[in-house]
Chain A
Amino acid sequence: MNQSRSRICGNFLATVASILMAGAAGCASGSGQSNAQVPTNTIAPSASSVRDLGGLTSRSISTGSDASAVNEHSLTGGAAPRSFGDFGDSGQNAAGGTLTMETLGQMLQSIGGNPQLQNNVYIYSIKDSSGLTYPFGISLSQDQKAIYFVVPMFNVDPQGWATQDALLKLLSANSSICPACFGIVDQKLFLLMGIANTNVNQDLLKQAISYVFDTVHKTQPLWSGWMQGGQQGNPAPGGNPPTGGNPPSGGNTGGSNPFQ
């Protein structure tokens, strides 16, 4: 108990000290405070990680209509979502192989939905039954060892929805949605999933796509409130379509509306 108290006390003192240090650092910017000098985003991407997503980072999930959007089911064909333990297997599905951008494109074309190839990313516009429309990209890592499925969501706005509490919830969700995860690329929140590019056939691809769509739906109660202009909105589990559309371009303007 005493130990617990002393820990709490220690944490309290550490917190107070941090606040004081942060204050001091703020007052004396450029004076070499080590805390203020912690480099951010210093990790270089590995060849197996998500490649440059190009123009996809300027697109967002929305409730606006898009005539070119295809229904989720037209891609998955009703395939059951398949999680990580099943990806990368080959024993029973040896008909597949290692995909190149070309063969990946051919496989996606055969699935349907007519993806657009931009900057080495196959891009779909997807609509679901709750009224959401979202961009969906599929690409290979630079070393072609992994296939990535990405859904750009909305801009990260520290002045709006991206509070400490919200970001902690995203990190918490990451422990439940693996192999998918939430990540941030170019100041935009993404849902990502990477699978091994080995023995991938059409069925496996459909099931992987289905898993990503399923994860979008499962996590919707978490982020749907943030779509409506920050924490003022009702999270509306199940998807409460906000009003207004999604400007399809324009990049990160840093405004409070995560759609912009």
Chain B
Amino acid sequence: MNRTNVSFLAMFVVTVASALLALTMGCSTGSAGGNTAIAPSPVSLPENPRSVAVPAMPAPNASANNARDLANAQPESVLDSKTARDLDLNGGDTQAGQPLTYETLGAALQKLGLTPEDSKPFWELKVKATTDDKCDWTFPIDVSLSQDQSVVWIACMLCPIDKNGSPSAQALIDLLAANNKLATTTFALNPSHTLFLQQPIPNIGITPQVLGSNLKTFFTCLKQSEPLYKSFFGNTTSGQGGGNPFQ
């Protein structure tokens, strides 16, 4: 009986405390609401079947001066282009016609001399490159189909960023400003708050040559825009053997 009373008393105390706490929070929320701006509504755009397919497992991110990643990557010569970043928007060989499937996409990459890793739903190329600032990068370049198979996506996951991270508003403005200069290649943030660079190609008559041409364009964009995202990574000093602090 005593134990029941004690339990009851404890529950009562907890209930009263909860009510008081809720009341206090309610009051403070209410008072703050009078002075604080109403937060903008969240981005809740409908799912686009043509967007980059979201893998079940998080895709690897780019890393800087990471010896292990560098050891497992192909040299940039496989994709490096000394030419301008002009797009190959010719839409491929429309007479050849058939849209790429996941399998034929992989075969097209292999035909280009690349060694993609099958990480279904995307083929992943790990390419290492040294940028002008002597930083050794490993870029995981994912090539995939949209959910509805109408778009071939080339994407590179760079690093997680969100409002709790370090990027300044100016750094984000610079990324958005770059979107106008990279033609159809754009910076975006995925639902996991990972910054990535993406390039879509209509999946119509894409030959290995067209795919290769667009991969080179994408890779050039990736390298040339490095000053814009480099600061989101930690220690990128060459030779430090450090890594991406986000990994």
Question: Footprint of B on A, CB under 8 Å?
Answer: 10-11, 14-15, 18, 35, 38-50, 83-91, 141, 143, 145-146, 156, 158, 162-179, 181-185, 189-190, 192, 194, 196-199, 218-219, 221-222, 225-226, 231-235, 237
Task: Using A41-B174, A85-B151, A146-B183 as known contacts, say yes or no to A196 and B202 having CB atoms under 8 A apart.
Answer: yes
Report the separation of the CA atoms of residues A183 and B176 in the bound assembly, to the nearest whole angstrom: 5
Do A231 and B37 touch across chains, with their CB atoms under 8 A apart? Answer: yes
Complex contact A196–B200 (CB within 8 A): no
Instruction: Say whether A48 contacts B46, CB under 8 Å.
Output: no
Q: How large is the interface on B (under 10, 10 to 19, 20 to 34, 35 or more residues)?
A: 35 or more
Question: Does A158 contact B170, Cβ atoms closer than 8 Å?
Answer: yes
- Residue-wise, chain B 142-165 has the 8 Å CB interface mask toward A (1 for contact) of 000010101100000000011111
Q: Footprint of A on B, CB under 8 Å? A: 37-48, 50-52, 84-87, 89-91, 94, 97, 146, 148, 150-151, 161-170, 172-184, 186-191, 193, 195-196, 198, 200, 202-205, 224-225, 227-228, 230-231, 234, 245-246
Q: Check B179–A192 contact: CB distance below 8 A.
A: yes
- Chain B proximity of A53: nearest CB distance (Å): 9
Shortest Cβ distance from residue A57 to the other chain B in the assembled complex, whole angstroms: 11
Contacts of A185 in B (CB 8 A): 177, 180
Which residues of A have CB within 8 Å of B231? 35, 38
Q: How far is the CA of A15 from the CA of B225 in the complex (A)?
A: 23
Identify which of A83, A145, A168 contacts B161 (C-beta below 8 A). Answer: A168
Whether A182 lies near B230 (C-beta < 8 A) is: no
Nearest CB in chain B to that of A182: its residue: B176
Q: Can you sample 13 A-B contacts with CB below 8 Å? A: A11-B165, A48-B183, A84-B151, A91-B97, A145-B86, A146-B183, A163-B169, A164-B169, A166-B40, A174-B188, A178-B200, A185-B177, A235-B38
Find out whether the CB atom of B51 lies under 8 angstroms from the CB atom of A176: yes
Neighbouring B residues of A234 by C-beta, 8 Å = 38
Provide the residues of chain B in CB contact with A219, threshold 8 Å.
Answer: 45
